[in-house]
Structure 1
């Protein structure tokens, strides 16, 4: 019999996560403990439950800039080797408990050097935490290194990503406020990564429109789009329900460019007015390479289970939709082909078959 679509059954399904920020997924209690350890006294509250509520309220502002301000607190307590190992370990543990079998977690090393760590030390600590947290839990965790688009260290971070490519780092990213900071400011870094046969994903089309997506793809050579919500601006839905794709949207679909969509986060930042109005429904119907992700689990109070459950409730999706989205994500992972195929054939397909048999 087909398993009912409940939070518990969805949690038991194997999941793949491509867009999750390390500094956006801490346990609230860990934020408090780490603040105590380093003497950080600027938290709005030291009660973990109240703090979790504060993060969610501050993030749900409709403004990407306001959303990003909340990271000041989490980054402040992630400045020591011990803190980075702990946060990375707990991230892997929490995702495994949520049924995630493969995850790519991203972070910006340049934000974690305020207390004496160098960039290599930051990356090594995070990779150690991922290894500890994933051991024996049925999850594979890999890392994406992010450069901040308003800063000038992207070349360093790109070289760092290539340097650790055989130790668990699978790609390079840029993030931060899009407006005024186009990805083309970092062309040298993107050219270097691609020349080294490494992977690129770029935050684009979240708070800014089609030019951000176009530059990310056609100038910077992005393999995937972080969010990509605004690709919907190049799609016209007629009164009869049929859709006409503009040249950029058609190219994204034709080339099977993966969209790392984060529905709850997109509503919180104002990239979508509501879950019902989120373009993921239309893009799934049009067969874009859509994936579902959490973005920032602490700030948005979400998990992969809650994201999937919300989409089931909103769009009436079933197990086949969740299976399709999950396999899309695994196909799009920055893991070698043979390893992707093994997870699809040996973990994902049997996992979903067991839920609909």
Structure 2
């Protein structure tokens, strides 16, 4: 039985790749921009502003896509604003059936009004805790962790890595680097990754989205990434022959053999040109080959998406059923930067029972 949209919304979902500054409510941007005098492309209405973000991001260029963040980051420069955005993020995810989420953002982008990096993380954590409490009051359960991101074109990665380690027992699950891949290889931040490895810390790296196989190879073999942010270009190392047989190159084989998680973001990948359409997205091939594929939103505002939207689109494009959605969800929970016993508890006590009720029924 093909899952309905309502059923997809109801089942537990796990989100590993979602940017805090890419998921604001348009109404919140309008309100916060008015308070600080920031000029927006439109002040007509929240709906019109949401339309602008979606159309501006739908350009087929990662660089143009990233420009939309100028407006969201601008309104996230004070502790109250950061806490509000973080709280609303959790509330929106919980309402969408997300039971575990890792939300990433770059602390270095939120210090223009005088906040320290530590104060930025504290404000976001306070907002997350408020959001979790609000979700519980609404009868929903969600666990949320921070991923601290360093911008790959800047030189603060070691500082952010140290910040992630300092906060790892207070709500931060790991580290990430993000930004335009071309010209900014992950090896520029090798000292930060080596430090994190010495500290037994977790990290993911944006790779294989706007650039090809060299980006993935460096992220894994030079930097030691636990997961790959996007990683869609791994298909460049996979050959599908006319007779249907498939040959994996050495890098693709390594990624599959080592069960390196791929944080796939279908709607975003289409917008940035990393995939031509949902139906042609590499996720279909990679799932059939049993790569460790996960489904994510990336930037809910820019892509006007949600986990329900992403999974429903895959159901429609590939004919996936509940067993497939469960597979994606358990893949993500297995790959989370959370202690093993906590991951297992969510899988056994939350995810499996919910899907069993649908599959057995």
Assess if the C-alpha contact under 8 Å between 2:203 and 2:226 holds in 1.
yes
Assess if the C-alpha contact under 8 Å between 2:41 and 2:52 holds in 1.
no
Q: Deviations for 1:63-104, whole angstroms, at most 9, x for unmatched residues?
A: 000000000000000001010000000000000000000000
- Rounded to whole Å, the distance in 2 between the matches of 1:332 and 1:278 is 21
- Of 289, 293, 303, 1:286 maps to 289
The alpha-carbon deviation at position 40 of structure 1 amounts to: 1.0
Please name the residue that 1:308 is paired with: 311
Where does structure 2 lack aligned partners over 5 or more consecutive residues?
A: none
- Rounded to whole Å, the distance in 2 between the matches of 1:14 and 1:304 is 10
Show the 5 A alignment for 1:248-259: 248-259=251-262
Q: Deviations for 1:271-293, whole angstroms, at most 9, x for unmatched residues?
A: 00111111000000000000000
The alpha-carbon deviation at position 313 of structure 1 amounts to: 0.2
The alpha-carbon deviation at position 43 of structure 1 amounts to: 3.6
Assess if the C-alpha contact under 8 Å between 2:286 and 2:293 holds in 1.
yes
Q: Deviations for 1:303-346, whole angstroms, at most 9, x for unmatched residues?
A: 00000000000001110000000000000000000000000000
- Rounded to whole Å, the distance in 2 between the matches of 1:245 and 1:35 is 49
- Of 324, 327, 337, 1:324 maps to 327
Please name the residue that 2:211 is paired with: 208
Please name the residue that 1:276 is paired with: 279
- Rounded to whole Å, the distance in 1 between the matches of 2:211 and 2:179 is 12
- Rounded to whole Å, the distance in 2 between the matches of 1:27 and 1:89 is 11
Please name the residue that 1:228 is paired with: 231
Q: 1:116 to 1:43 in 2, by over 3 A?
A: farther
Where does structure 1 lack aligned partners over 5 or more consecutive residues?
A: none
Q: Deviations for 1:181-230, whole angstroms, at most 9, x for unmatched residues?
A: 00000000111111100001000000100000000000100000000000
- Rounded to whole Å, the distance in 2 between the matches of 1:245 and 1:199 is 27
The alpha-carbon deviation at position 46 of structure 1 amounts to: 4.1
The alpha-carbon deviation at position 44 of structure 1 amounts to: 3.0
The alpha-carbon deviation at position 45 of structure 1 amounts to: 3.1
- Rounded to whole Å, the distance in 1 between the matches of 2:313 and 2:20 is 23
- Of 143, 149, 154, 2:152 maps to 149
Please name the residue that 1:126 is paired with: 124
Assess if the C-alpha contact under 8 Å between 2:230 and 2:265 holds in 1.
yes
Please name the residue that 1:14 is paired with: 12
Please name the residue that 1:246 is paired with: 249
- Of 161, 164, 168, 2:164 maps to 161
Corresponding residue pairs, total: 355
Structure 1 runs of 4+ aligned residues shifted over 4 Å read none
What is the TM-score of this pair, normalised by structure 2? 0.97
Assess if the C-alpha contact under 8 Å between 1:101 and 1:140 holds in 2.
yes
Please name the residue that 1:89 is paired with: 87
Show the 5 A alignment for 1:173-192: 173-192=176-195
- Of 31, 34, 57, 2:29 maps to 31
- Rounded to whole Å, the distance in 1 between the matches of 2:98 and 2:251 is 32
The alpha-carbon deviation at position 354 of structure 1 amounts to: 1.5
